[in-house]
Amino acid sequence: MTETLVPSASASDGPAAPKRLFIKTYGCQMNVYDSERMADVLRPLGYAATDTAESADFVILNTCHIREKAAEKIYSELGKLRELRDIRLAAGQPGLTIAVAGCVAQAEGEEIMRRQPAVDIVVGPQAYHQLPELLTRTARARGERIGADFAPVEKFDALPKARGVTGPTAFLTVQEGCDKFCTFCVVPYTRGAEWSRPVAAVLAEARELAARGVREVTLLGQNVNAYDGEGLDGAPSTLARLAYALADIPGLDRIRYTTSHPNDMSDDLIAAHGELDALMPWLHLPVQSGSDRVLRLMNRKHGRTKYLALIDRIRAVRPDMALSGDFIVGFPGETDADFEQTLDLVRRVGYASAFAFAYSPRPGTPAASMAGPVPAAIARERLHALQALLAEQQLAFNMDKTGRTVDVLFEKPGRHGRQAIGRSPWLQSVHADDADHLIGRIVPVLIKHGQQNSLKGRLMEMALDGA
Protein backbone atom coordinates (compact mmCIF):
# COMPACT_ATOMS: atom_id res chain seq x y z
CA MET A 1 0.00 0.00 0.00
CA THR A 2 2.92 2.33 0.58
CA GLU A 3 3.11 3.09 -3.14
CA THR A 4 -0.04 5.15 -2.71
CA LEU A 5 1.72 7.42 -0.23
CA VAL A 6 2.32 10.78 -1.86
CA PRO A 7 4.54 12.95 0.35
CA SER A 8 7.41 13.02 -2.12
CA ALA A 9 5.13 13.70 -5.09
CA SER A 10 4.46 17.29 -4.11
CA ALA A 11 8.19 17.85 -3.62
CA SER A 12 9.23 16.44 -6.99
CA ASP A 13 6.32 17.86 -8.98
CA GLY A 14 7.05 21.42 -7.85
CA PRO A 15 4.83 23.42 -5.55
CA ALA A 16 1.27 22.10 -5.49
CA ALA A 17 -1.72 24.43 -5.09
CA PRO A 18 -1.92 25.36 -1.41
CA LYS A 19 -4.39 23.21 0.47
CA ARG A 20 -5.97 24.31 3.68
CA LEU A 21 -6.33 22.10 6.72
CA PHE A 22 -8.56 22.82 9.70
CA ILE A 23 -8.26 20.55 12.73
CA LYS A 24 -10.78 20.98 15.50
CA THR A 25 -9.61 19.41 18.74
CA TYR A 26 -11.76 18.08 21.56
CA GLY A 27 -10.83 16.29 24.79
CA CYS A 28 -7.53 15.96 26.59
CA GLN A 29 -3.97 17.20 25.98
CA MET A 30 -3.18 13.92 24.25
CA ASN A 31 -5.56 15.01 21.51
CA VAL A 32 -3.88 18.43 21.36
CA TYR A 33 -0.56 16.65 20.81
CA ASP A 34 -2.11 14.31 18.23
CA SER A 35 -3.63 17.26 16.33
CA GLU A 36 -0.24 18.94 16.12
CA ARG A 37 1.25 15.70 14.83
CA MET A 38 -1.53 15.29 12.24
CA ALA A 39 -0.63 18.75 10.94
CA ASP A 40 3.03 17.62 10.84
CA VAL A 41 2.10 14.53 8.82
CA LEU A 42 0.06 16.53 6.32
CA ARG A 43 2.44 19.46 5.90
CA PRO A 44 4.63 17.59 3.35
CA LEU A 45 1.46 17.08 1.27
CA GLY A 46 1.10 20.83 0.98
CA TYR A 47 -1.50 21.33 3.69
CA ALA A 48 -1.23 24.59 5.58
CA ALA A 49 -3.23 25.32 8.72
CA THR A 50 -6.31 27.50 8.68
CA ASP A 51 -8.59 28.29 11.59
CA THR A 52 -12.08 27.90 10.19
CA ALA A 53 -13.89 25.10 8.40
CA GLU A 54 -15.17 27.66 5.88
CA SER A 55 -11.65 28.36 4.66
CA ALA A 56 -10.55 24.69 4.61
CA ASP A 57 -10.29 21.98 1.97
CA PHE A 58 -9.81 19.31 4.59
CA VAL A 59 -11.39 19.28 8.05
CA ILE A 60 -10.41 16.86 10.78
CA LEU A 61 -12.46 16.59 13.95
CA ASN A 62 -10.14 15.13 16.59
CA THR A 63 -12.72 13.81 18.98
CA CYS A 64 -13.23 12.82 22.59
CA HIS A 65 -15.46 10.03 23.83
CA ILE A 66 -15.12 10.56 27.56
CA ARG A 67 -18.61 11.90 28.29
CA GLU A 68 -21.80 11.63 26.28
CA LYS A 69 -21.97 15.35 25.55
CA ALA A 70 -18.46 15.32 24.10
CA ALA A 71 -19.33 12.50 21.72
CA GLU A 72 -22.74 13.86 20.68
CA LYS A 73 -21.24 17.26 19.82
CA ILE A 74 -19.39 15.55 16.98
CA TYR A 75 -22.56 14.58 15.16
CA SER A 76 -23.95 18.12 15.17
CA GLU A 77 -20.59 19.42 14.01
CA LEU A 78 -20.57 16.85 11.20
CA GLY A 79 -24.04 18.00 10.15
CA LYS A 80 -22.71 21.54 9.71
CA LEU A 81 -19.71 20.34 7.72
CA ARG A 82 -21.96 18.37 5.43
CA GLU A 83 -24.01 21.50 4.72
CA LEU A 84 -20.85 23.42 3.96
CA ARG A 85 -19.73 20.69 1.57
CA ASP A 86 -23.13 20.53 -0.17
CA ILE A 87 -23.23 24.31 -0.67
CA ARG A 88 -19.82 24.18 -2.33
CA LEU A 89 -20.75 21.27 -4.55
CA ALA A 90 -24.00 22.98 -5.59
CA ALA A 91 -21.94 26.02 -6.56
CA GLY A 92 -19.74 23.83 -8.74
CA GLN A 93 -16.77 24.22 -6.39
CA PRO A 94 -14.59 21.43 -5.02
CA GLY A 95 -16.27 19.96 -1.96
CA LEU A 96 -14.74 19.34 1.41
CA THR A 97 -12.89 16.32 2.71
CA ILE A 98 -14.07 15.39 6.19
CA ALA A 99 -12.23 13.15 8.64
CA VAL A 100 -13.12 12.04 12.13
CA ALA A 101 -10.11 11.16 14.26
CA GLY A 102 -9.56 10.51 17.96
CA CYS A 103 -11.49 8.49 20.50
CA VAL A 104 -15.00 8.68 18.99
CA ALA A 105 -13.49 7.37 15.75
CA GLN A 106 -11.98 4.47 17.66
CA ALA A 107 -15.09 3.72 19.72
CA GLU A 108 -17.85 4.15 17.15
CA GLY A 109 -16.28 4.22 13.70
CA GLU A 110 -19.04 2.19 12.06
CA GLU A 111 -21.73 4.33 13.62
CA ILE A 112 -20.11 7.52 12.38
CA MET A 113 -20.15 6.27 8.80
CA ARG A 114 -23.77 5.19 9.20
CA ARG A 115 -25.01 8.38 10.87
CA GLN A 116 -23.08 10.76 8.65
CA PRO A 117 -22.22 9.40 5.21
CA ALA A 118 -20.53 12.70 4.31
CA VAL A 119 -17.55 11.56 6.39
CA ASP A 120 -14.69 10.46 4.13
CA ILE A 121 -12.18 9.15 6.64
CA VAL A 122 -12.44 7.63 10.09
CA VAL A 123 -9.06 7.24 11.70
CA GLY A 124 -8.29 6.05 15.24
CA PRO A 125 -5.65 7.49 17.59
CA GLN A 126 -3.06 4.89 16.61
CA ALA A 127 -3.47 5.24 12.86
CA TYR A 128 -3.28 8.94 12.03
CA HIS A 129 0.24 8.62 10.66
CA GLN A 130 -1.57 6.97 7.75
CA LEU A 131 -3.55 10.11 6.91
CA PRO A 132 -1.56 10.73 3.70
CA GLU A 133 -2.44 7.28 2.44
CA LEU A 134 -6.04 7.55 3.57
CA LEU A 135 -6.41 10.91 1.83
CA THR A 136 -5.05 9.49 -1.39
CA ARG A 137 -7.45 6.60 -1.28
CA THR A 138 -10.31 8.93 -0.48
CA ALA A 139 -9.61 10.89 -3.58
CA ARG A 140 -10.22 7.67 -5.52
CA ALA A 141 -12.98 6.02 -3.61
CA ARG A 142 -14.87 8.25 -1.22
CA GLY A 143 -16.22 6.76 1.95
CA GLU A 144 -13.56 4.20 2.72
CA ARG A 145 -12.94 3.39 6.33
CA ILE A 146 -9.71 2.14 7.85
CA GLY A 147 -9.57 0.60 11.29
CA ALA A 148 -7.10 1.44 14.00
CA ASP A 149 -5.68 -1.86 15.06
CA PHE A 150 -2.09 -0.72 15.19
CA ALA A 151 0.35 -0.47 18.05
CA PRO A 152 1.46 3.07 18.97
CA VAL A 153 5.05 2.16 18.09
CA GLU A 154 4.22 2.08 14.38
CA LYS A 155 2.68 5.50 14.58
CA PHE A 156 5.59 7.11 16.40
CA ASP A 157 8.11 5.52 14.04
CA ALA A 158 6.19 6.87 11.07
CA LEU A 159 5.72 10.45 12.28
CA PRO A 160 8.01 13.13 10.88
CA LYS A 161 10.89 14.03 13.19
CA ALA A 162 10.37 17.76 12.81
CA ARG A 163 7.51 19.34 14.66
CA GLY A 164 5.79 22.58 13.71
CA VAL A 165 5.89 23.90 17.26
CA THR A 166 6.29 27.67 17.58
CA GLY A 167 5.94 28.82 21.22
CA PRO A 168 8.26 28.09 24.18
CA THR A 169 6.07 25.30 25.60
CA ALA A 170 5.14 21.97 24.05
CA PHE A 171 3.40 18.70 24.77
CA LEU A 172 5.33 15.48 24.28
CA THR A 173 3.55 12.14 24.37
CA VAL A 174 5.62 9.52 26.21
CA GLN A 175 2.98 6.97 27.17
CA GLU A 176 -0.38 5.94 25.82
CA GLY A 177 -3.23 3.74 26.85
CA CYS A 178 -4.54 2.44 30.11
CA ASP A 179 -4.75 -0.93 31.86
CA LYS A 180 -6.67 0.35 34.88
CA PHE A 181 -10.25 -0.14 33.71
CA CYS A 182 -12.00 2.26 36.04
CA THR A 183 -15.61 1.18 35.66
CA PHE A 184 -16.80 4.54 34.31
CA CYS A 185 -14.11 5.14 31.71
CA VAL A 186 -13.79 4.54 27.96
CA VAL A 187 -10.06 5.25 27.69
CA PRO A 188 -8.84 1.61 28.01
CA TYR A 189 -11.16 0.84 25.07
CA THR A 190 -10.31 3.85 22.90
CA ARG A 191 -6.58 4.12 23.55
CA GLY A 192 -5.71 0.49 24.15
CA ALA A 193 -3.22 -1.04 26.57
CA GLU A 194 -0.50 0.89 28.40
CA TRP A 195 2.51 1.43 26.18
CA SER A 196 5.59 3.64 26.67
CA ARG A 197 7.89 5.16 24.06
CA PRO A 198 11.60 4.30 24.40
CA VAL A 199 13.74 6.88 26.23
CA ALA A 200 15.88 7.45 23.11
CA ALA A 201 12.82 8.43 21.04
CA VAL A 202 11.56 10.80 23.73
CA LEU A 203 14.98 12.42 24.14
CA ALA A 204 15.33 12.87 20.38
CA GLU A 205 11.97 14.61 20.15
CA ALA A 206 12.77 16.76 23.18
CA ARG A 207 16.12 17.83 21.72
CA GLU A 208 14.38 18.80 18.52
CA LEU A 209 11.88 20.86 20.53
CA ALA A 210 14.64 22.53 22.57
CA ALA A 211 16.44 23.44 19.34
CA ARG A 212 13.26 25.23 18.28
CA GLY A 213 13.25 27.31 21.45
CA VAL A 214 11.00 25.18 23.63
CA ARG A 215 11.81 25.79 27.31
CA GLU A 216 9.07 23.73 28.92
CA VAL A 217 7.74 20.29 28.00
CA THR A 218 4.68 18.61 29.42
CA LEU A 219 5.06 14.85 29.15
CA LEU A 220 1.75 13.29 28.26
CA GLY A 221 0.25 9.92 28.96
CA GLN A 222 -3.13 8.60 30.04
CA ASN A 223 -1.15 7.08 32.91
CA VAL A 224 2.05 8.97 32.47
CA ASN A 225 3.60 7.96 35.80
CA ALA A 226 3.27 4.29 34.79
CA TYR A 227 5.91 5.13 32.16
CA ASP A 228 8.31 2.20 31.67
CA GLY A 229 9.84 2.85 28.27
CA GLU A 230 13.03 1.10 27.27
CA GLY A 231 16.03 2.94 28.69
CA LEU A 232 19.31 3.65 26.92
CA ASP A 233 20.75 0.58 28.66
CA GLY A 234 17.95 -1.62 27.34
CA ALA A 235 16.25 -1.96 30.74
CA PRO A 236 12.89 -0.35 31.46
CA SER A 237 13.20 3.24 32.64
CA THR A 238 10.95 5.08 35.07
CA LEU A 239 9.35 8.48 34.62
CA ALA A 240 11.73 9.92 37.21
CA ARG A 241 14.77 8.69 35.28
CA LEU A 242 13.33 10.04 32.07
CA ALA A 243 12.84 13.42 33.78
CA TYR A 244 16.50 13.51 34.89
CA ALA A 245 17.65 12.73 31.34
CA LEU A 246 15.39 15.43 29.89
CA ALA A 247 16.62 17.98 32.41
CA ASP A 248 20.14 17.52 30.97
CA ILE A 249 19.06 18.86 27.58
CA PRO A 250 20.36 22.44 27.31
CA GLY A 251 17.49 24.93 27.17
CA LEU A 252 14.87 22.61 28.62
CA ASP A 253 14.30 24.28 31.97
CA ARG A 254 10.88 23.07 32.93
CA ILE A 255 9.29 19.64 32.94
CA ARG A 256 5.73 18.71 33.80
CA TYR A 257 3.80 15.51 33.29
CA THR A 258 0.15 14.54 33.18
CA THR A 259 -2.04 12.55 33.94
CA SER A 260 -0.86 10.54 36.90
CA HIS A 261 -2.57 7.70 38.71
CA PRO A 262 -2.17 7.54 42.50
CA ASN A 263 -1.10 3.88 42.36
CA ASP A 264 1.80 4.65 40.02
CA MET A 265 3.26 7.48 42.12
CA SER A 266 6.56 5.71 42.81
CA ASP A 267 9.12 6.59 45.48
CA ASP A 268 11.74 7.68 42.95
CA LEU A 269 9.27 10.05 41.29
CA ILE A 270 8.31 11.59 44.62
CA ALA A 271 11.98 11.93 45.53
CA ALA A 272 12.71 13.58 42.18
CA HIS A 273 10.28 16.35 43.10
CA GLY A 274 12.53 17.20 46.00
CA GLU A 275 15.78 17.07 44.01
CA LEU A 276 15.24 18.04 40.40
CA ASP A 277 14.75 21.79 39.93
CA ALA A 278 13.40 21.34 36.40
CA LEU A 279 10.50 19.27 37.70
CA MET A 280 7.80 21.87 38.28
CA PRO A 281 5.81 21.84 41.54
CA TRP A 282 2.55 20.96 39.85
CA LEU A 283 0.85 17.58 39.91
CA HIS A 284 -2.43 16.45 38.38
CA LEU A 285 -3.37 13.46 40.49
CA PRO A 286 -7.05 12.59 40.05
CA VAL A 287 -8.78 10.75 42.88
CA GLN A 288 -12.36 10.85 41.47
CA SER A 289 -14.11 10.40 44.83
CA GLY A 290 -13.42 10.73 48.54
CA SER A 291 -15.58 7.77 49.48
CA ASP A 292 -13.98 4.34 49.84
CA ARG A 293 -17.25 2.69 48.91
CA VAL A 294 -17.52 4.65 45.66
CA LEU A 295 -13.81 4.19 44.92
CA ARG A 296 -14.36 0.45 45.14
CA LEU A 297 -17.34 0.63 42.77
CA MET A 298 -15.16 2.68 40.43
CA ASN A 299 -12.44 0.00 40.55
CA ARG A 300 -9.89 2.68 41.37
CA LYS A 301 -7.76 0.21 43.36
CA HIS A 302 -6.89 2.82 45.99
CA GLY A 303 -8.76 4.17 49.02
CA ARG A 304 -8.98 7.66 50.50
CA THR A 305 -6.48 6.93 53.28
CA LYS A 306 -3.86 5.80 50.80
CA TYR A 307 -4.46 8.88 48.65
CA LEU A 308 -4.21 11.27 51.61
CA ALA A 309 -1.03 9.57 52.83
CA LEU A 310 0.42 9.90 49.34
CA ILE A 311 -0.33 13.64 49.33
CA ASP A 312 1.47 13.93 52.68
CA ARG A 313 4.54 12.17 51.29
CA ILE A 314 4.61 14.43 48.24
CA ARG A 315 4.25 17.56 50.36
CA ALA A 316 7.01 16.37 52.67
CA VAL A 317 9.51 16.66 49.79
CA ARG A 318 7.83 19.55 48.00
CA PRO A 319 5.73 21.63 50.45
CA ASP A 320 4.64 24.12 47.78
CA MET A 321 3.29 21.46 45.39
CA ALA A 322 0.23 22.69 43.49
CA LEU A 323 -2.21 19.81 43.39
CA SER A 324 -4.76 19.31 40.69
CA GLY A 325 -7.33 16.58 40.21
CA ASP A 326 -10.49 15.23 38.64
CA PHE A 327 -13.70 14.32 40.44
CA ILE A 328 -16.85 12.54 39.36
CA VAL A 329 -20.08 13.23 41.24
CA GLY A 330 -23.31 11.27 40.88
CA PHE A 331 -21.61 7.93 40.26
CA PRO A 332 -24.23 5.14 40.48
CA GLY A 333 -25.01 4.46 44.13
CA GLU A 334 -23.34 7.64 45.45
CA THR A 335 -25.16 8.78 48.60
CA ASP A 336 -25.13 12.15 50.34
CA ALA A 337 -22.71 10.64 52.87
CA ASP A 338 -20.38 9.50 50.07
CA PHE A 339 -20.47 12.95 48.57
CA GLU A 340 -19.68 14.51 51.97
CA GLN A 341 -16.59 12.31 52.03
CA THR A 342 -15.52 13.83 48.72
CA LEU A 343 -15.98 17.37 50.06
CA ASP A 344 -14.05 16.38 53.16
CA LEU A 345 -11.15 14.98 51.13
CA VAL A 346 -11.04 18.14 49.03
CA ARG A 347 -10.88 20.26 52.21
CA ARG A 348 -8.04 18.13 53.55
CA VAL A 349 -5.97 18.25 50.37
CA GLY A 350 -6.53 21.86 49.27
CA TYR A 351 -6.33 21.90 45.46
CA ALA A 352 -4.72 24.60 43.36
CA SER A 353 -7.18 23.77 40.60
CA ALA A 354 -9.31 20.76 39.82
CA PHE A 355 -12.08 19.56 37.56
CA ALA A 356 -15.41 18.15 38.64
CA PHE A 357 -17.73 16.27 36.31
CA ALA A 358 -21.21 14.82 36.61
CA TYR A 359 -21.09 11.10 35.90
CA SER A 360 -21.99 10.29 32.30
CA PRO A 361 -22.81 6.64 31.53
CA ARG A 362 -20.70 5.35 28.64
CA PRO A 363 -21.97 2.39 26.62
CA GLY A 364 -19.90 -0.74 27.15
CA THR A 365 -18.38 0.31 30.46
CA PRO A 366 -19.31 -1.67 33.61
CA ALA A 367 -20.71 1.34 35.47
CA ALA A 368 -23.26 1.99 32.73
CA SER A 369 -25.28 -0.99 33.97
CA MET A 370 -24.73 -0.46 37.71
CA ALA A 371 -27.65 -0.13 40.10
CA GLY A 372 -28.72 3.12 41.75
CA PRO A 373 -28.35 5.83 39.13
CA VAL A 374 -28.30 9.24 40.80
CA PRO A 375 -31.08 11.59 39.61
CA ALA A 376 -29.71 14.32 37.35
CA ALA A 377 -30.95 17.12 39.61
CA ILE A 378 -29.06 15.71 42.61
CA ALA A 379 -25.91 15.15 40.56
CA ARG A 380 -26.12 18.76 39.36
CA GLU A 381 -26.52 20.04 42.91
CA ARG A 382 -23.47 18.07 44.05
CA LEU A 383 -21.51 19.23 41.04
CA HIS A 384 -22.23 22.88 41.86
CA ALA A 385 -21.32 22.42 45.52
CA LEU A 386 -18.03 20.74 44.65
CA GLN A 387 -17.20 23.28 41.94
CA ALA A 388 -17.86 26.12 44.40
CA LEU A 389 -15.47 24.58 46.94
CA LEU A 390 -12.80 23.99 44.28
CA ALA A 391 -13.17 27.58 43.00
CA GLU A 392 -12.74 28.86 46.56
CA GLN A 393 -9.55 26.82 46.93
CA GLN A 394 -8.22 27.98 43.59
CA LEU A 395 -8.77 31.63 44.51
CA ALA A 396 -7.05 31.10 47.87
CA PHE A 397 -4.10 29.41 46.17
CA ASN A 398 -3.77 32.27 43.67
CA MET A 399 -4.21 35.02 46.28
CA ASP A 400 -1.49 33.42 48.37
CA LYS A 401 1.05 34.40 45.69
CA THR A 402 0.27 38.13 46.08
CA GLY A 403 3.37 40.08 47.08
CA ARG A 404 5.71 37.24 46.11
CA THR A 405 8.22 37.14 43.31
CA VAL A 406 7.74 34.19 41.01
CA ASP A 407 9.60 32.96 37.92
CA VAL A 408 7.39 33.29 34.86
CA LEU A 409 7.97 31.67 31.48
CA PHE A 410 6.34 34.11 29.06
CA GLU A 411 4.48 32.28 26.30
CA LYS A 412 2.44 34.69 24.22
CA PRO A 413 1.26 38.27 23.84
CA GLY A 414 -1.71 39.36 25.94
CA ARG A 415 -4.77 41.21 24.73
CA HIS A 416 -3.80 44.70 25.87
CA GLY A 417 -0.90 46.78 24.58
CA ARG A 418 2.47 45.18 25.21
CA GLN A 419 1.11 42.74 27.77
CA ALA A 420 2.48 39.19 27.82
CA ILE A 421 1.04 36.03 29.35
CA GLY A 422 3.11 33.31 30.90
CA ARG A 423 3.04 30.56 33.49
CA SER A 424 4.26 30.37 37.05
CA PRO A 425 6.00 27.20 38.27
CA TRP A 426 2.57 26.19 39.66
CA LEU A 427 0.97 26.46 36.21
CA GLN A 428 -0.87 29.66 37.06
CA SER A 429 -1.44 32.01 34.17
CA VAL A 430 0.42 35.29 34.82
CA HIS A 431 -0.29 38.56 33.01
CA ALA A 432 2.32 41.34 32.99
CA ASP A 433 2.39 44.71 31.18
CA ASP A 434 5.28 45.80 28.92
CA ALA A 435 6.60 42.25 28.77
CA ASP A 436 6.01 41.22 25.14
CA HIS A 437 9.77 41.38 24.43
CA LEU A 438 10.27 38.63 27.03
CA ILE A 439 8.31 35.87 25.29
CA GLY A 440 10.33 32.67 25.49
CA ARG A 441 12.21 33.81 28.58
CA ILE A 442 11.89 32.96 32.27
CA VAL A 443 11.75 36.18 34.27
CA PRO A 444 11.08 37.08 37.91
CA VAL A 445 7.73 38.80 38.29
CA LEU A 446 6.29 40.49 41.36
CA ILE A 447 2.71 39.33 41.84
CA LYS A 448 0.35 42.24 42.52
CA HIS A 449 -2.98 40.38 42.58
CA GLY A 450 -4.03 36.78 42.72
CA GLN A 451 -7.36 36.36 40.92
CA GLN A 452 -9.72 33.45 40.30
CA ASN A 453 -8.08 32.18 37.11
CA SER A 454 -4.82 34.11 36.85
CA LEU A 455 -2.24 36.31 38.52
CA LYS A 456 -1.47 39.90 37.67
CA GLY A 457 2.20 40.76 38.00
CA ARG A 458 4.78 43.41 37.34
CA LEU A 459 8.26 42.90 35.95
CA MET A 460 10.84 43.14 38.71
CA GLU A 461 12.85 46.02 37.19
CA MET A 462 9.65 48.03 37.01
CA ALA A 463 8.76 47.10 40.53
CA LEU A 464 12.21 48.17 41.72
CA ASP A 465 11.89 51.43 39.79
CA GLY A 466 8.56 52.00 41.49
CA ALA A 467 7.07 52.41 38.01
* Contacts to ligand F3S by CB under 6 A: 27-28, 30-31, 64-66, 102-103, 186-187, 190-191, 222
Closer to ligand SAH by CB, 30 or 60: give it. Answer: 30
CB of 428 to ligand F3S, least distance (A): 23
Indicate which of ligand SF4, ligand SAH, ligand F3S, none lies near residue 328 (CB less than 5 to 8 Å, by partner kind).
ligand SAH
Indicate which of ligand SAH, ligand SF4, ligand F3S, none lies near residue 65 (CB less than 5 to 8 Å, by partner kind).
ligand F3S
Contact between residue 347 and residue 294 where contact means Cβ atoms under 8 Å apart: no
Contact between residue 283 and residue 259 where contact means Cβ atoms under 8 Å apart: no
Helix/strand/coil for 59: strand
Indicate which of ligand SAH, ligand F3S, ligand SF4, none lies near residue 103 (CB less than 5 to 8 Å, by partner kind).
ligand F3S
Indicate which of ligand F3S, ligand SF4, ligand SAH, none lies near residue 64 (CB less than 5 to 8 Å, by partner kind).
ligand F3S
Contacts of 10 (CB under 8 A, 6+ apart): 16, 44, 45, 46
Closer to ligand SF4 by CB, 131 or 185: give it. Answer: 185
The neighbouring-strand residues paired with 23 are 60
Indicate which of ligand SF4, ligand SAH, ligand F3S, none lies near residue 31 (CB less than 5 to 8 Å, by partner kind).
ligand F3S
Closer to ligand SAH by CB, 137 or 306: give it. Answer: 306
Closer to ligand F3S by CB, 124 or 168: give it. Answer: 124
Chain position whose Cβ is nearest to ligand F3S: 27
Residue type at 32?
V
Burial of 225-254, coded b for 16+ CB within 10 Å and e otherwise, reads bbbbbebeeeeebbbbbbbbbbbebeebbb
Among residues 423, 457, 425, the alpha carbon closest in space to that of 440 is found at 423
Chain position whose Cβ is nearest to ligand SAH: 326
Contact between residue 319 and residue 311 where contact means Cβ atoms under 8 Å apart: no
d(CA 241, CA 272): 9
- Concatenated DSSP letters of 3-54: GG--HHHHHHT-PPPPEEEEEEE-SSHHHHHHHHHHHHHHGGGTEEE-S-ST
CB of 238 to ligand F3S, least distance (A): 23
Burial of 427-453, coded b for 16+ CB within 10 Å and e otherwise, reads bbbbbbbebbebbbebbebbbeebeee
CB of 177 to ligand F3S, least distance (A): 9
Residue type at 13?
D
Indicate which of ligand SAH, ligand F3S, ligand SF4, none lies near residue 169 (CB less than 5 to 8 Å, by partner kind).
none
Indicate which of ligand SF4, ligand F3S, ligand SAH, none lies near residue 102 (CB less than 5 to 8 Å, by partner kind).
ligand F3S
Closer to ligand SAH by CB, 33 or 58: give it. Answer: 33
Contact footprint for ligand SF4 (CB under 6 A): 178, 180-182, 185, 187-188, 222-223, 261
